[in-house]
Chain A
Amino acid sequence: MLAVSPLTNSNVEKQGDMESFQLGLDEFSDVFSGENFLEGIDFEDLYVGIDDGDVLPDLEMDPEMLAEFSISGGEESSEVNKRREEEDRHSGSGLVSSTSNRSEEIVSIKSDESVAANPSPMKDEKRRRKSSSTTQSKGSQGKRKLKVDWTPELHRRFVQAVEQLGVDKAVPSRILELMGIDCLTRHNIASHLQKYRSHRKHLLVREAEAASWSQRRQNHGGVGGGGGGSKRDISPWPAPPTMGFPPQTPLQTFRPLHVWGHPSVNQSLLHMWPKHLVHSPPPPWATPPPPPPPWQPLHHRVTAPNALTPASLCFPQPLATTRLSTSAVRGIPPQAMYKVDQGIGVSNGQSDSLPPFDFHPSKESVDAAIGDVLLRPWLPLPLGLKPPSVESVMVELQHQGISKIPPTCSA
């Protein structure tokens, strides 16, 4: 009582009153529920500061929380509305007299610990609408568009639904059905889908280019111009020795491509979606890092003819990589890089080496790249595409009339 009496005059200095009132609240919270105490309180002021925001706190909650909230909101808003009516009647006068009427409401409101109620009579209409929308928030989304918080979990479900339908055929209404979350509107899904699609395409195109000039980027310390370079996080790869960095680069950024928005290692990867960062699901064409890369078994078979074990491949390399500052990534034969650099860089003369969209790549550069593969077949695959099974390739070739490869008779 003592602390709150100055507040009863309030309507003029609401802000200041609220602050002091809140202090009073803190101090006297244990006494608060007493009816005596309530008489002196102008509850209108309690909510004044909160009144101003256009976004109610509940709007940013997760859908699950929203569900809980709306239940309590339901109880509360009816009480608030009741109070509103009373305030209409009593407006302008000292609200002291009405407080006793409101005391039961207030007690229950307090127990709900919700701050969505907005008693100010001036903003009455707006608040009534808002509080009623609170109760409906879980359901039909009548008039307002709730701001959807795309949590990683929510996003993961979204992507699952999209993939189930097929990225191109994924229609928002179907996605919504598959996700089965009431709190999302078709509009939310549609805009999220649009962003997702453009992001995927963007990443994919960039990574295809980045694969070959990732070597150059590594040279620049991985800070990398453009592409996935700046967003890459090299280290988390367990990096089996056979895996050089070129696949590392696209793979790392391809991971987000597949299920984007999942929480995982690389917080920095998708600067566009800072919240929904990366995820760990496998890129479409390469398995995720923890399992060994798909071609590793293949590589074992390769070692026999090449007489170069992956181990021996790797060890000399790190020593030599200092020169080319690719120590972040292992298994890159520097000589090969140099050569490729020259092959690609010389013909294009750009710092980023690969021509932006050279519809007709220069013969020399293609020749150099191919020659490099022939000379050094043990090199890691630049894109790291998921290799087909040997059997299925052989079967297919047999259908074409080729019984063994390499063909023994010359073409």
Chain B
Amino acid sequence: MGDSSSASYIRMVQHLIEKCIIFHMTQEECIEAISKHANIEPVITATVWKELEKENKEFFEEYARSRGDRMSEEETKQKILKIISDSSAATNSHN
């Protein structure tokens, strides 16, 4: 009985992780969101994530790679926004 409830629990965690992956979240973000919204221990989420990664190595490799690409775009965007907001703040402070 313990076994099947563990199994279903693990499956649920996997499900949660998959949902987060759909949102392109990082492992840390997943763990945090799942801990916050689902009250799952971070260590459990982390473990399940790690095991999933082992079983689905190529998927996670690609996922990380495509995230890497996206992140750099996003970071650039953020930087630009920051520059803009900084400069506008600077302009405002003159007035």
Contact = CB atoms under 8 A, between A and B. Distances in A.
B37 A386 contact: no
A141 B52 CA distance: 46
A208 B15 contact: no
Contacts of A386: 52, 55-56
Nearest to B22: A212
Given A388-B54, A396-B51, A402-B44, A369 B14 contact: no
Interface residues of A, number: 58
B93 interface: no
A370 B38 contact: yes
Report the contact-size class of chain B (Cβ under 8 Å from the partner).
35 or more
Interface string A386-403: 111110111011001110
A377 B20 CA distance: 15
Given A284-B56, A301-B8, A383 B62 contact: no
B6 A405 contact: yes
A392 B3 CA distance: 13
A304 B47 CA distance: 25
Nearest to B66: A205
Interface of B: 2-12, 14-16, 18-25, 33-35, 37-39, 41, 43-44, 47-48, 50-52, 54-59, 62-63, 65-66, 70-71, 73-74, 78
Interface of A: 167, 200-201, 204-205, 208-209, 211-212, 284-285, 295, 298-299, 301-302, 304-306, 354, 357-359, 361, 365-367, 369-374, 377, 379, 381-390, 392-394, 396-397, 400-402, 404-407, 411
8 contacts: A302-B8, A366-B20, A373-B19, A377-B12, A385-B55, A396-B51, A397-B44, A402-B41
